[in-house]
């Protein structure tokens, strides 16, 4: 009987509800491909801690192993800061340089409002280009833009779990395809 109570107590402590927040958009690359980008984040609410544990917000680009990650913030804006040795601001370098080693490459707005059910779009303003090892500017799959990229968000998915596995493992990788004329 003590074992059953002990096992039940452990299961109660480890049980949770996982929430997946996700969206997608399509964009054109500089090499004339149409690529998909996906944004997603997990949030885990434990049985005995209703506040939950938010995860990072990730933007995965099609045709590239690179992703952008934002630390969760309860505000509606998160900043993307990248190392200055690998990224350069495409439009106003003086304004984007945070320090000699960091550059402000973008802002994500609207994610918290989406989580609260207040909107169905999240905007990502990305203003940097990558640099290769020789200091030459190269454009990654998602090119810098003076206007924000707009993700169309899906309804959140929530599932009960005994073990706390993250639902973001189910997010399909984004793809690219040739642009049709």
User: What tokens were used for 80?
Assistant: 């993307």
Rounded alpha-carbon distances, angstroms, from residue 84 to 80, 93, 130: 12, 10, 9
Q: Is the pTM of this model over 0.85?
A: no
Which residue shows structure tokens 């080693």?
101
Task: Say if residue 13's pLDDT is above 70.
Answer: no
Bridge partners of residue 40, in order along the sequence: 22, 58
pLDDT in tens, 141-181: 788 899 999 999 999 988 887 766 777 778 888 888 898 86
pLDDT in tens, 105-118: 999 999 989 988 89
Largest alpha-carbon pair distance within the chain? Answer: 71
- Give CA–CA dist 124/60, Å, rounded: 12
Task: Say if residue 46's pLDDT is above 70.
Answer: no
Question: What values do phi and psi take at 170, rounded to 5?
Answer: -90, -10
Mean model confidence pLDDT for the chain: 81
């Amino acid at each position: 009987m003590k074992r059953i109570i002990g096992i039940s107590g452990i299961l109660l402590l480890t049980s949770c509800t996982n929430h997946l927040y996700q969206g997608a958009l399509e964009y054109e690359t500089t090499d004339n491909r149409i690529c998909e980008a996906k944004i997603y984040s997990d949030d885990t609410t434990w049985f005995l801690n209703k506040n939950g544990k938010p995860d990072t917000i990730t933007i995965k680009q099609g045709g590239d192993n690179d992703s952008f990650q934002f630390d969760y913030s309860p505000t509606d804006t998160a900043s993307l800061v990248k190392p200055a040795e690998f990224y350069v601001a495409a439009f106003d370098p003086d304004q984007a340089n945070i320090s000699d080693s960091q550059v402000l490459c973008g802002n994500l707005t609207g994610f918290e409002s989406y989580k609260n059910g207040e909107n169905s779009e999240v905007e990502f303003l990305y203003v940097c280009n990558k640099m290769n090892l020789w200091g030459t500017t190269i454009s990654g799959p998602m090119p810098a833009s003076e206007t924000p990229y707009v993700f169309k968000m899906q309804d959140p998915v929530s599932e009960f779990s005994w073990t706390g596995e993250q639902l973001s493992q189910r997010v399909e990788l984004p793809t690219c395809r040739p642009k049709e004329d």
